[in-house]
Amino acid sequence: MRGTRPGAAAYILPMAALGLAGALALLPGLDPDAEGLLPQFVGPLAAILLCTAAFSTVAHADVVAARLGQPYGTLVLTLSVTVIEVSVIASMMLHKDNNPTLARESVLSVLMIVCTGIIGLCLLLGSLKHREQTIQQQGTSGYLSVLIALGVMLLILPNDTRAGTHGAFSTVQLVYMAFIAVALYGAFLYVQTVRHRDHFESQPEGHVEAPPTPRAFWIALGMLLLSLVAVVSLSHPVAAGVENFLGQFPLEDPDAVTGALVALLLLLPEGITAVRAAARNHLQHSLNIALGSALATVALTIPVMAFISVLIERPMVLGLDTDDRTMLLLTFVLSILSFGTGKTNALNGVVHLIVFCVYVMLLFLP
């Protein structure tokens, strides 16, 4: 983790995003759903500013993380991105007609993009540069055990319960499973940050920069919160713009494509950070970022969406279709095998990326 100060854009763009969000709140005629030529440009502009604000969030989270140290630094980063993702998914779920499968598709997309795409790139590029890389096997196994348990209980089990219908938990089951997910994630955080911190520590850096000064830390923390507010504020117009744009195409499963697009945009900053860490031969730090993001998404996004679903009385379908269930189970098995020896090579990365390519194909040709 490097304590590099963010560039000027990381301070200017979140403020521009907040400015646009304020204009949209004060001028309803600019809403992307409104009639006219100008509202048609608001959606793309909001999407660009949301993405730049997300990058700014990661940049400032890096400074905060450098001051806090590991594993708290990675935790700050993953929780920040999770807040962004929840806000965007909630806005898309509440936009226009009910999208009962959107939360499911978004969470599945995060799991597939992280565990096959991002991790595949990390393993391949890291191994091409350093031949063979080592990881903290106990820490990685901790991530995978919780991730697999939550993935199966929340995305596969709903298809097999008697009380649920068509892949949906009953209200009581949904609330109960939401508490289970949060409790399990809390247990994992205790192990990661208190009980067995050494299992999640990455290799020491060859050149370690001095941590940020207290002044830089507090400025970064303030800008981190400001960037998160900017992203949350723009989540509704971006949701409207994305759905209006994808509605122009004859997609067989528009919710799946929408969920994948949202996940890809929001995971891009973290993905770049993880790949850079792997290229510096710090694969454990890379996995902490990638797997931590996927775990936080499953453990926190679904409970929040479940609460919203019960509150506004809109059903939420979590059970995966047959092809998605097969791909998810394949990804879990592959992850266990890739990290089971504590060492990785280029072949592991290639296999993960091939599975990711098949997942992309199934998005458009289910």
Confidence of residue 108 (pLDDT cuts 50, 70, 90): very high
**159-175, pLDDT tens digit by residue?**
888 765 677 888 889 89
The pLDDT value recorded for residue 1 is: 41
User: What integer is the mean pLDDT of 175-201?
Assistant: 85
CB 228 within 8 A of CB 83: yes
Question: Of 70, 344, 335, which is closest to residue 196 (Cα–Cα)?
Answer: 70
Residue 3: pLDDT above 50? no
Confidence of residue 34 (pLDDT cuts 50, 70, 90): low
In angstroms, the CA 59 to CA 9 distance is 10
Which pair of structure tokens corresponds to residue 343?
């060492």
The pLDDT value recorded for residue 353 is: 96
User: What integer is the mean pLDDT of 237-261?
Assistant: 76
Residue 117: pLDDT above 90? yes
In angstroms, the CA 189 to CA 154 distance is 19
Dihedrals phi, psi of 75, to nearest 5 degrees: -65, -40
Confidence of residue 97 (pLDDT cuts 50, 70, 90): low
Q: How does the average pLDDT of the chain come out, rounded?
A: 81
**51-62, pLDDT tens digit by residue?**
788 778 778 877
Share of the chain above pLDDT 90, in %: 20
For 310-333, letters b (16+ CB in 10 Å) and e give: eeeeeebbbbbbeebbebbeebbe
In angstroms, the CA 123 to CA 131 distance is 10
User: What integer is the mean pLDDT of 242-261?
Assistant: 77
| 54-58, 84-88, 137-141, 163-167: which is most confident | 137-141
The pLDDT value recorded for residue 203 is: 53
Residue 133: pLDDT above 60? yes
Confidence of residue 153 (pLDDT cuts 50, 70, 90): very high
The CB-based long-range contact list for 138-143 (8 Å cut-off, 24+ gap) reads: 138/196, 138/199, 139/192, 139/196, 139/199, 139/200, 139/201, 139/284, 139/288, 140/284, 140/287, 140/291, 140/339, 141/339, 142/188, 142/191, 142/192, 142/196, 142/199, 142/200, 143/287, 143/291, 143/292, 143/295
Q: Which of 137-146, 243-252, 270-279, 345-354 has the lowest mean pLDDT?
A: 243-252
Confidence of residue 35 (pLDDT cuts 50, 70, 90): low
**285-316, pLDDT tens digit by residue?**
888 888 888 898 888 888 888 888 888 777 78
Between 52 and 92, residue with greater pLDDT: 52
The pLDDT value recorded for residue 238 is: 74
Question: What's the Cα-to-Cα distance from 125 to each of 2, 4, 282, 315, 360, rounded to whole Å?
Answer: 20, 23, 12, 42, 21
Residue-range domains of the chain with CATH: 9-364 (1.20.1420.30)
* Amino acid residing at 157: L
Between 134 and 244, residue with greater pLDDT: 134
Between 9 and 142, residue with greater pLDDT: 142
Confidence of residue 123 (pLDDT cuts 50, 70, 90): very high
The pLDDT value recorded for residue 282 is: 86
**193-242, pLDDT tens digit by residue?**
877 777 676 654 444 556 778 888 888 888 888 888 887 777 777 766 67
Between 73 and 141, residue with greater pLDDT: 141
| 24-33, 87-96, 226-235, 329-338: which is most confident | 329-338
The pLDDT value recorded for residue 214 is: 82
Q: What is the pTM of this model?
A: 0.82
Three-class DSSP labels, the chain: CCCCCCCCHHHHHHHHHHHHHHHHHHCHHHCCCCCCCHHHHHHHHHHHHHHHHHHHHHHHHHHHHHHHCCCHHHHHHHHHHHHHHHHHHHHHHHCCCCCCCHHHHHHHHHHHHHHHHHHHHHHHHHHHHHCCEECCHHHHHHHHHHHHHHHHHHHCHHHCCCCCECCECCHHHHHHHHHHHHHHHHHHHHHHHHHCHHHHCCCCCCCCCCCCCHHHHHHHHHHHHHHHHHHHHHHHHHHHHHHHHHCCCCCCCHHHHHHHHHHHHHHHHHHHHHHHHHHCCCHHHHHHHHHHHHHHHHHHHHHHHHHHHHHHCCCCCCCCCHHHHHHHHHHHHHHHHHHCCCEECHHHHHHHHHHHHHHHHHHHCC
Confidence of residue 180 (pLDDT cuts 50, 70, 90): very high
